[in-house]
């Protein structure tokens, strides 16, 4: 039984990860910059919760010693592309400085057995897709740049200070429990449930993204955390879709057909992102789901949620 620290524990991915760690009977220490205990997937009494800023050295260091941390999953981030464009300073501080602070605490603590870093396909920037793990990290827009830097900082601490660090670069993650309604899946499903047009920020056609279902992402995190070697891996299904095709898939699932509002206001975003996940599969990981199965589970999750709460 390990003492596992999860940063960003109350985020979309963090909540799924914490639940699976609890299922494995690990001791979970969940940290968040604000008290979000009323909006989570698990019983708050099942975890040790600490509220504070990932950029606060003393806060992080005290957690290491208080709980004798063995493993870290670092998910804390400002994760919205549009918010990063409006507030690059806060995004850079959280995503880059927060990671540096965490790794510096780990370097001083000297007892961490494994650190798993949540990077992103955005770290590759506008390089030619599909990306493999040797594709240069070349983020240029604020969010993309912050993830490139976070990734490189993690590699620097791994190579310079011999820390056991693995890095996951995931495609766009979807699944139940994502309450950022300006993201594609939550907004598309909610629009169908409410029988109204979906609001699409882009033109709906030109931007292609690689999507992966949340439960496969969580299994990849746990798989990598158990390896003896330090790994940098892509995690995706390797298939791209635009927003209109996703909306069509969701409408076919819900049998609600309403033409969306195309706002076409998105800017500073990459046109094509697609990951090559051959390497992690060569290590022995394979997805349990696919896009279609993940979509069905996601729609079902939100419809049950809406029936309870709307």
pTM: 0.95
Spell out the CATH class of 175-209+239-274+283-309.
Answer: alpha beta
Instruction: Supply the pLDDT for residue 35.
Output: 62
Span 84-130, pLDDT tens digits: 999 999 999 999 999 999 999 999 999 999 999 999 999 999 999 99
Tell me the torsion sign for CA atoms 50, 52, 53, 59. negative
As a whole number, mean pLDDT of residues 231-240 equals 97
Pairing between strand 240-241 and 209-213? antiparallel
| Cα–Cα distance measured from residue 29 to residue 46, given in angstroms and rounded to the nearest whole number | 10
CA angle 44, 72, 75 (to 5 degrees): 75
Sequence-separated (6 or more) residues with CB below 8 Å from residue 271 = 126, 206, 207, 208
Span 22-37, pLDDT tens digits: 999 999 999 988 765 5
| Cα–Cα distance measured from residue 210 to residue 223, given in angstroms and rounded to the nearest whole number | 21
As a whole number, mean pLDDT of residues 187-205 equals 93
Residue numbers annotated as active site: 143
Instruction: Supply the pLDDT for residue 175.
Output: 98
Pairing between strand 232-235 and 165-170? parallel
The percent of residues above 90 in pLDDT, for the chain, comes to 86
Q: Is the pLDDT of residue 187 over 80?
A: yes
Q: Is the pLDDT of residue 258 over 90?
A: yes
Instruction: Supply the pLDDT for residue 118.
Output: 98
Q: Is the pLDDT of residue 40 over 60?
A: no
- The CATH number that domain 3-173+213-235 falls under is 3.40.50.720
Q: How far is residue 118 from each of residues 107, 150, 217, 235, 279, measured CA to CA in Å?
A: 18, 9, 11, 11, 17
Q: How far is residue 309 from each of residues 199, 302, 303, measured CA to CA in Å?
A: 21, 10, 10
Q: Is the pLDDT of residue 43 over 90?
A: no
Q: Are 21 and 45 in contact (CB under 8 A)?
A: no
As a whole number, mean pLDDT of residues 229-243 equals 96
What pLDDT band is residue 45 in, cutting at 50, 70 and 90?
A: confident
Q: Are 70 and 112 in contact (CB under 8 A)?
A: yes
Q: Are 95 and 146 in contact (CB under 8 A)?
A: yes
> What residue has token string 């729609």?
299
Q: Locate CATH 3.40.50.720 in the chain.
A: 3-173+213-235
| Cα–Cα distance measured from residue 299 to residue 309, given in angstroms and rounded to the nearest whole number | 15
Q: Is the pLDDT of residue 158 over 70?
A: yes
Q: Are 216 and 155 in contact (CB under 8 A)?
A: no
| Cα–Cα distance measured from residue 72 to residue 193, given in angstroms and rounded to the nearest whole number | 38
Residue 211: strand pairing partners = 172
Neighbours of 257 (CB within 10 A): 11
Q: Locate CATH 3.90.25.10 in the chain.
A: 175-209+239-274+283-309
Q: Is the pLDDT of residue 3 over 70?
A: yes
The percent of residues above 70 in pLDDT, for the chain, comes to 97
């Amino acid at each position: 039984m390990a003492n596992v620290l999860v940063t960003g524990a109350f985020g979309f991915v963090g909540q799924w990860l914490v639940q699976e760690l609890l299922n494995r009977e690990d001791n979970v220490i969940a940290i968040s910059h604000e008290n979000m205990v009323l909006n989570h997937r698990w019983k708050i009494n099942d975890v040790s919760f600490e509220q504070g800023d990932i950029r606060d050295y003393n806060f992080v260091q005290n957690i290491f010693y208080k709980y004798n941390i063995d493993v870290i999953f670092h998910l804390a981030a400002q994760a919205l592309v549009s918010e990063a464009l409006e507030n690059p300073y806060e995004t850079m501080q959280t995503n880059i400085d927060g990671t540096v602070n965490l790794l510096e605490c780990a370097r001083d603590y000297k007892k961490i057995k494994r650190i798993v870093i949540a990077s992103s396909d955005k770290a590759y920037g506008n390089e030619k897709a599909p990306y493999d793990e040797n594709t240069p990290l070349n983020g240029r827009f604020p969010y993309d740049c912050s993830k490139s830097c976070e990734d490189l900082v993690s590699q620097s601490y791994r190579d310079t200070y011999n820390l056991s660090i693995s890095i996951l670069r995931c495609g766009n993650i979807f699944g139940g429990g994502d309450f950022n309604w300006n993201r594609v899946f939550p907004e598309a499903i909610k629009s169908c449930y409410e029988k109204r047009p979906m609001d699409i920020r882009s033109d709906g056609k030109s931007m292609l993204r690689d999507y992966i279902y949340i439960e496969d992402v969580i299994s990849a995190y746990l798989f990598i955390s158990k390896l003896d070697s330090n790994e940098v891996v892509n995690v995706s299904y390797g298939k791209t879709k635009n927003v209109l095709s996703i909306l069509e898939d969701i409408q076919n699932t819900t049998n609600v057909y309403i033409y969306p509002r195309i706002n076409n206001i998105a800017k500073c975003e990459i046109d094509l992102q697609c990951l090559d996940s051959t390497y992690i599969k060569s290590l022995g990981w394979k997805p349990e789901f696919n896009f279609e199965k993940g979509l069905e589970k996601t729609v079902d999750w939100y419809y049950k949620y809406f029936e309870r709460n709307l």
